[in-house]
């Protein structure tokens, strides 16, 4: 092979490697996925955009989120996800009422109880609430999946819903550990 042709092939080969290196670098420079608070802010904003009259249906109370595995053991995630979601809805204009039970615990709705128990309805009525924010979640191998709904207490009708999926990083794994 003549020298100029070998030089041209080598140059093309090196340019190709440079392109691969830039592509690999782009993966490291990609912005990180949003964290729990940012993802819930975006999701609640999207819910209000999709269901514009939702904020007129308040006041709302919230319940701790439910693990679909039904382990019955509470984790910090159960409460913080509910609190962050309710705060995001409040920023969107929803009236939110805080309902704490004995021991300063957030209202809990068990997956086996059905959606709305008498206790939930009674507490909602006592607080003058018309709606309930409820969420369920499932942990996959490397993702956390959440389904969120705002439900009318009187009729069990779903007034708004949304879902999201998050990368299951060390922070989320720690929040999901039952205490």
Q: What is the pLDDT of residue 10?
A: 63
Task: Based on the fold, state whether residues 1 and 59 are members of the same structural domain.
Answer: no
Is 80:175 a contact under the CB 8 Å cutoff? yes
Q: What is the pLDDT of residue 11?
A: 64
Q: Are residues 4 and 50 in the same domain?
A: no
Neighbours of 57 (CB within 10 A): 17
- Going from the C-alpha of 77 to that of each of 15, 71, 150, the distances in angstroms are 48, 14, 19
102 cis-preceded (ω within 30 degrees of 0): no
Residue 104: per-residue pLDDT: 46
Residues 69-74: contacts with CB under 8 Å, at least 24 apart? 69/138, 69/139, 70/110, 70/111, 70/112, 71/178, 72/110, 73/178, 73/179, 74/108, 74/178, 74/179
Q: What pLDDT shows up at residue 88? A: 96
**Statement to judge: residues 16 and 88 lie in one domain:** no
Listing DSSP states for 2-35 in one string gives -HHHHHHHHHHHHHHHHHHHHHHHHHHHSPPPP-
Report, as ranges of residue numbers, the positions in the chain whose pLDDT lies below 50. 21-22, 24, 102-105, 111-113
Same domain, 51 and 137: yes
Q: 107 and 50 in one domain?
A: yes
* pLDDT (0 to 100) of residue 123: 79
Q: Distance (Å, rounded) from C-alpha 9 to C-alpha 121?
A: 75
Local structure of 110: helix, strand or coil: coil
Residue 105's SS3 state is coil
Model confidence pLDDT, tens digit, residues 82-120: 999 999 999 999 999 876 554 444 555 554 445 566 777
Q: What's the total number of domains in the chain?
A: 2
Residues 97 and 78 reside in one and the same domain: yes
């Amino acid at each position: 092979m003549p020298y100029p042709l070998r030089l041209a092939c080598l140059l093309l080969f090196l340019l190709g490697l440079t392109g691969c290196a830039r592509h690999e670098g782009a993966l490291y420079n990609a912005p990180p996925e949003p964290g729990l608070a940012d993802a819930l802010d975006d999701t609640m904003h999207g819910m209000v955009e999709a269901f514009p009259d939702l904020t007129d249906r308040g006041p709302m109370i919230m319940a701790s989120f439910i693990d679909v595995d039904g382990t019955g053991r509470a984790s910090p995630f159960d409460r913080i996800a509910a609190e962050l979601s309710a705060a995001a809805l409040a920023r969107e204009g929803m009236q939110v009422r805080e309902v704490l039970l004995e021991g300063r615990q957030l209202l809990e709705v068990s997956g086996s109880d059905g959606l709305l128990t008498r206790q939930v309805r009674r507490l909602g009525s006592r607080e003058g609430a018309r709606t309930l924010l409820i969420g369920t979640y499932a942990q996959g191998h490397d993702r956390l999946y959440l389904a969120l709904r705002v439900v009318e207490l009187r009729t069990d009708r779903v007034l708004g819903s949304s879902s999201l999926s998050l990368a299951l990083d060390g922070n989320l794994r720690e929040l999901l550990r039952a205490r």
